[in-house]
Amino acid sequence: MKKEKAVNMKCNNANFPDLYGHYREAKFTQTKHHWWWKINHVFDGLRVTRNHTGLFLFLEEDHYVVEDFLHSLALLEKVQRRECKHCNVLSLGTYVKVVNYAADSGRAEIWQWISSKHNMGMAFNSATWKDIKSCAEKFCFFDDYNWDWSLQYISASCLQHKLIVMLVKAPRVYHIGECGVHHKKKDCASNSEINKVLRLSKAAVSHLYPTRLLATHSTKRMGKIPKGNGGWGDIRDRQLCMWHANITDIR
């Protein structure tokens, strides 16, 4: 719908199209809202968690965890404290196409955080969260409906400490969802991805629970500050996003 038509129809959001002239679609905006709501409530809203200063690991309903995922997270944290104090995100998931547990089970890599590579099985603490929350306005007003792209934007343009991730080279978290916002397949109930991951994890059993991790630095760097993909021009979405950033107590 063109803006002129939206104005004539007296739409509530007629004056707030996105970067590309498109209007709000709830099926897209909900992804950023849900992640932001979750993070704010876990760190600041829930009494049982808001005073925890250690790591929080964030998993989603279509993630599959390998049996030694907590062991691997503890090793990552140990190496981070000893060798990479500036690493402020740990990650158990990667999107590599070829997995070799025999060679990589005890290996980790250090990268600048990149949304498309390091958004799965993320773990960070309240210090990192406070840095992220200090840029809430930039996060909430960035015209992009993806939470991870918005996070990359504030990492590049606002955070006091850019996001640096240490991740396991052999994944301990897999994405098994066949369908979603960015994934469309004919058979959403297919178990093909689940079966694939089960085969991988079964074959890897003898290589799990490494006693130590060897971390190496990646030479790849993030490019210029990302441009928004749109879908987040409506002032109501931005206001709700900022409202969540002010949550203080929900029991």
Pairing of β 164-168 and β 89-91: parallel
- List CB contacts of 214: < 8 A, sequence separation 6 or more: 106, 107, 108
What separation, in Å, do the N-terminal and C-terminal C-alpha atoms of the chain show?
A: 42
d(CA 131, CA 65): 28
The residues pairing with 58 across neighbouring beta strands, listed in sequence order, are 122
Burial of 42 by CB count in 10 Å (0-12 exposed, 13-18 middle, 19+ buried)?
A: middle
| DSSP letter assigned to residue 206 | G
- What sign for the dihedral angle of Cα 212, 218, 223, 229? negative
Q: Which residues are annotated as a binding site?
A: 30-34, 62, 175
d(CA 8, CA 4): 6
d(CA 220, CA 214): 18
Structure tokens at 222: 């993030």
d(CA 185, CA 196): 16
Q: Which residues are annotated as a binding site for substrate?
A: 30-34
- Residue pair 176/62 in contact (Cβ under 8 Å)? The answer is yes
Q: Which residues are annotated as a binding site for Mn(2+)?
A: 62, 175
- Reported as type and span, the H/E element at residue 174 is strand 173-175
Structure tokens at 17: 């199209």
